[in-house]
Structure formats: structure tokens, C-alpha cells
Amino acid sequence: MLYFGQLGYRVIAHDRRGHGRSDQTWDGNDMDTYADDLSVLLEKLDLKDAIMVGHSTGGGEVARYLGRHGTKRVAKAALISAVPPLMLKTDKNPTGAPVSVFDGLRTALAANRPQFYRDITLPFYGYNRPGAKISEGIREHWWLQGMLGGMKAHYDCIKAFSETDFTEDLKKIDIPVLVMHGDDDQIVPIVAAGPLSAKILKNATLKVYPGFPHGMPAVSYTHLDVYKRQPFRSSVFSPTRSTPNTAATRDRWSMSSRNPAPTIFTATSTSFSAMTF
């Protein structure tokens, strides 16, 4: 977010319901409601020509929003280490993960949520690989993001990100979509994710990063095209303006600027959903 803000983009972040500093709602922890919450946010801020970028579960939110609410307010999108088209193994999705994997996540979360969030940072960032340079700061930061949210929302979110089928959403998306995935993603394995989404989308560009983990924007950002080549900059956007920060989910950070291209970020299932416009 800092990077895009320094480039002059207008930057806004929001926390998904039940995550971060948003209200810890009991119900509505599903992709349809997540997408509807995003719609309220975009409508309240009257955003136009936005670029939506979703990481992990956030990629599911982006896909469901575009499939459910259309692209009238969105010019481009990016899916980074994202859960679409479907994580769960089914007869039609044989490369997905069995439900026992997600049952294990639910069991670990319910038994000891603080330890769960600490332990999962190792595969999340590839820190369990030989020779990995571990940043305890990044691990603690991710743990803090997780602990800010609510137990019920996080428990329900596992079902939302693992069992939601985004195939029909992806088919409806007609704007350009950048699909980015690391081939050593241990959280959302690439075999059932990025390349399959790119095949379904009408206008996709697929970027596969050898050896990169699920949390590649945090540990490998200096190598990513999203930072090096600034693929979201475009002269087709009209200038943004400052608007009131009122929405169903809370704004975390807002900056207005001269840059004509607004962007959006949505992040992981257990941390905040960072959105930038």
C-alpha cells in the first residue's frame, strides 16, 4: 500500500467483516456477503475505474464481487495466490485438496487459535523450506493481524475460501485480469489455482513465480511485476477525488492523490482485507 501511495495512487484499505478492526459479526461469513460488503463500500465511496487486487481469500472476494455485481466500477483486476477457481477436491476438481485438510485447519483453529496463527506462518511464507531466511517480524505481524479478528468469523471463513466454487464468476469477468501465483505455494497449491483461473477468464495474463510461497507479496515483493513494472498504471483512468470514508466495513487507510489510477487490495482469510483505491 505504501508503494502505491508513494506513486501517487489514492489508497484505501478495509477490513473484511469479522477480521481486523471491523465488527465481529456472527453471521454473514460467506463469499456472497463478503462481495456484498465490497459493493456497499464501492457504492458509498462512488468509486469508478477501480483496480481490484485480491490475495488468497481476497482473490475469492474479488472474483465473487465481479461475478455478482459486475464490472461497472472496475477497470482491471489481479488475483495473487488466490483461492479461485475452487480449493476443495471434488469429482469435477480432482486436483483440489480433500476436505480433511480443511477440517484439520478448523480443528487447530478451535483448539488453540494463537498457536495456529503462529505455526501457519512457516508454510505461508515458505519459512519451512531449507535455507529460508525467516523474518520474525513478518511472522509476528501476520499473527497480530489474525488475532485482531474474531474466532467465529475465522472459523467460518475456512469453509468460505475452501468450498466456494468461483468458476461461474470467473466466466463472467470481461475485464483484464492479472493472475499471479508462486509454484511453491503450500497454502493454495498452484495445481488447482492460478493457471486454472487463467484458463477460465476471458482476458487473463498469467505470471508464475518459481519457488515463491503463498505470502509472496510480503517476502518477495522486490521481484514481482506488480512492483517492478507497475502494470496497473494507465492513462485511461480519470482523476480520483477525495470522498467520505463511510462504508459497511471500516476504512483503515485512505489517501487521495493526483494519480489517475485507483487500486484495490483484498488480503488473506485470517488477516485483514487491505483494499486500496
> Which tens digits make up the pLDDT trace of 154-202?
999 999 999 999 999 999 999 999 999 999 999 999 999 999 999 999 9
Catalytic residues: 56, 185, 214
Tens digit of each residue's pLDDT (9 = 90 or more) over 46-102: 888 888 889 999 999 999 999 999 999 999 999 999 999 999 999 999 999 999 999
DSSP label of 132: -
* Cis, bond preceding 130 (omega within 30 deg of 0): no
Which letter, b or e, does each residue of 45-82 get, where b requires 16 or more Cβ atoms within 10 Å of its Cβ? bebebbbbbbbbbbbbbbbbbbbbbebebbbbbbbbbb
Range of weakest confidence among 47-56, 142-151, 268-277: 268-277
What type of residue sits at position 89? K
Q: Write down the pTM of the prediction.
A: 0.84
Range of weakest confidence among 25-29, 173-177, 204-208, 267-271: 267-271
CA dihedral sign, ordered 112, 145, 55, 84: positive
List the chain domain ranges. Answer: 2-266
pLDDT for 122 beyond 50: yes
Report the mean per-residue pLDDT for the chain.
83
Fold of 2-266: Rossmann fold (3.40.50)
Q: Looking at residue 23, what is its pLDDT?
A: 87
